[in-house]
């Protein structure tokens, strides 16, 4: 998981936005539209990053299906590894 997070957050374009999405979803679930408003990012940008994070088992929809307005959550695996995410973030800020 550590390698995946390093790649997604520090090793590729868009890592900052993906980190912001993970942080927001750690606090509470959102749908794509709510995240777009909360993070002041374009709806399509949020959709793109969510797809990448889902492909790497970081996020999941509440029902597991793709529906408009569906709430998005961190996976249990990501919740368990959230301290690793925080560690990566702190190293990036230096």
* CATH code, domain with 39: 1.10.10.10
DSSP 19-62: HHHHHHHHHS-B-HHHHHHHHT--HHHHHHHHHHHHHTTSEEES
Boundaries of domain holding 62: 2-6+28-92
The answer as to whether 15 is a domain residue is no
Within-domain flag for 13: no
Residue 61: per-residue pLDDT: 84
- Residue-level pLDDT at 65: 59
Q: Examine residue 21 and state whether it is found in any structural domain, yes or no.
A: no
The DSSP letter of residue 68 is: T
For 20, half-sphere exposure in the C-beta direction (CA atoms, 13 angstrom radius) is 14
pTM for the predicted model, two decimal places:
0.90
Q: How many separate domains does the chain show?
A: 1
Report if residue 56 sits inside a domain.
yes
pLDDT tens digits, one per residue of 48-76: 999 999 999 999 987 655 667 789 999 99
- Lowest pLDDT segment from 15-29, 53-67, 79-93: 53-67
């Amino acid at each position: 998981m550590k390698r995946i997070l390093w790649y997604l957050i520090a090793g590729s374009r868009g890592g900052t936005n993906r980190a912001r999405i993970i942080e927001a979803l750690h606090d509470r679930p959102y749908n794509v539209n709510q995240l777009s408003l909360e993070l002041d990012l374009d709806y399509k940008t949020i959709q793109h990053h969510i797809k990448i994070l889902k492909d790497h088992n970081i996020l999941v929809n509440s029902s597991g299906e793709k529906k408009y307005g569906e709430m998005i959550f961190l996976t249990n695996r990501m919740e368990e590894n959230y301290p690793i995410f925080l560690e990566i973030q702190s190293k990036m800020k230096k």
